[in-house]
Amino acid sequence: MSAEYICPVLTAFKEDGSVDMEAMKALFDHLIHGGMDGIAIMGSSGEFYSMTLKEAGEFARASLDYLKGKIPVYIGTGRLTLEETVQLSSMALEWGAEGVMIVGPYYIGADKEGIYAYYDQVAGQVKGNMILYNYPDRTGYDITPDIVLRLLKKHKNIVGFKDTMPAPSHTRELIRSVKPLYPEFRIYSGFDDNFIHVLLSGGNGCIAALSNVRPELCAQWRDAWKKGDLKKVMAIQGIIDGLMDFYKISTPFMPAMKYALQKMGLPISAGCRLPALPASKEQRREVDRMLEESL
């Protein structure tokens, strides 16, 4: 039974706010040694929204140079303008990315025809693998199964879908609608606790952030599924369910996860770019408790 666990990696920043590539290399190694199937750079947990196009391009290039030949790498390239999305996507693919993961424009909202037209134009100009990134809580709209089917009829380079919806029924409906016609199309949950549900429904796994902190546990979960070890699958599901509180400790959740990585010995600053603030003393105590219970 196939399954993939891809980590949407956090981004380490220096005190001056620039990307800390030495810390990133340590984090990349942590994920590779932990057994991840792939790394997604500049997803939501990577704070892509806080980077200029120049910064994003430099970060993507440096990361791909370091990770070449080590693990499949996906680059989050969704920007507020179509032109910048195409530009960053084309650069990332030219530099060796396995594919690009594209969240649609956010803030303004869109109807179905607008969503279709946006991705239709992007896919027509990007010459490489694309993963559609659906995050209605942040974009204000849903990339529905009928939109996906219309796009797949026209664009062979759209190869996957990340569905960041808390209800597994949403991802399940996408699987039921798309997989019978396009069985090779890869569908991932954006939430760790939905990993097994998505697999049971015929999906491919998840692209979810708890794997930053516990990549080895997530890899064991994947391996238990592949081996049909349901007892271990259930046991790890219970641990993951508890760790989902990481998403509630701080808003957004990245400061709490970065503090956890610090506690685990990684050379990473706990700082994020505004409006995200460092974890408070109370939040750090909660992280300490969760790590003590799960490690």
DSSP 51: S
- Helices of type H across the chain: 21-34, 53-67, 82-94, 112-125, 136-139, 145-154, 168-178, 195-200, 215-227, 230-243, 246-249, 254-263, 281-294
Q: Which residues of 247-256 are buried (b: 16+ CB within 10 A; e: fewer)?
A: bebbeebbbb
Closest residue by Cα to residue 207 from 64, 76, 48, 40: 40
CB atoms within 10 A of CB 20: 19
- Residue positions annotated with a catalytic role: 44, 107, 133, 162
DSSP 274: T
Phi, psi for residue 228 in degrees, rounded to 5:
75, 20
Residue 144 DSSP SS3: coil
CB atoms within 10 A of CB 73: 24
